[in-house]
Amino acid sequence: MPVNRILLVEDDYGISDTVALNLRYVGYECAVFDDGAEAATSLENDHTYDLALLDIMLPGIDGFELFRYMEKYNIPVIYMTAKTDSESEVKGLRDGAEDYIVKPFEVVTLLVRIEKVLKRTGRLNQVYHFGNITVDVENRSVTKDREIIELPPLEFDVLTVLIKNKNRTVTREHILNEIWGEDYFGDVRTVDVRIANLRKKLGLGDMIRTISKAGYRLEEQKR
């Protein structure tokens, strides 16, 4: 299954570099433009994007005008902008944008919103790869070297959270909230037991790193 492709149009290089780095870090492909007109022109040759992240105040043409090009190619849009006035937000959402996020924002918040939009629009790639391990979320299956590995439901869910956030530290609380929601009040140490089982069953060993006083990180080995 192909990787989700995201178009990022942002003229603040600090923001675009940070967002693009994190998008690629979690497994998305990302094309970056700093000019609205250039981004619009590029769509004539390549418009196979699953989502567009658009600033509103752009050189060339602004994000609202660029949105019309996204409509032409049926590309869902999330606006990310410094414009805090309600009129801009209402206009963006009424025009058909999927979401509107105001700067400054936490990257993890943006990633969650991206996933929700991709899922809502039926574009989310639900197959994740980590080395020789493949996790198919929709079919709830795990294979290693193409051999099916049977996991109990909770271990599968913990693995899914880790692989979706590979190379990022996730807390025990975050893992449990992803699985059961924010209303979970059980013992967070249940995560430790599942992690130990995953290390053993999948041979992940040190690749699931314990981050002191923080949580866990599924980390790709450097070659």
Average pLDDT, rounded, for the chain: 90
What is the tens place of the pLDDT at every residue in 74-99?
999 999 988 888 888 888 888 899 99
Residue ranges covered by each domain of the chain: 5-120, 127-218
What is the tens place of the pLDDT at every residue in 160-212?
999 988 888 999 888 888 887 766 566 778 889 999 999 999 999 989 999 99
Quick count: other Cβ atoms within 10 Å of Cβ 209? 15
Give the fold, CATH level 3, of 5-120. Answer: Rossmann fold (3.40.50)
Residue 179, C-beta contacts closer than 8 angstroms, at least 6 positions apart = 154, 157, 158, 161
Class of domain 127-218: mainly alpha
pLDDT at 12 over 90: yes
**Of the ranges 34-38, 80-84, 134-138, 183-187, the best mean pLDDT one:** 34-38
User: How far is residue 127's CA from residue 138's CA, in Å, rounded to a whole number?
Assistant: 8
pTM over 0.85? The answer is no
- The residue type at 65: E
Residue 78's SS3 state is strand
User: How far is residue 158's CA from residue 91's CA, in Å, rounded to a whole number?
Assistant: 39
Q: Print burial letters for 170-193: b (CB count within 10 Å at least 16), e (below 16).
A: bebebbbebbeeeeeeeeeeebee
Q: Is 56 left (phi over 0), alpha (psi -120 to 50) or beta?
A: alpha
| Cis peptide bond N-terminal to 59, omega within 30 | no
pLDDT at 1 over 60: no
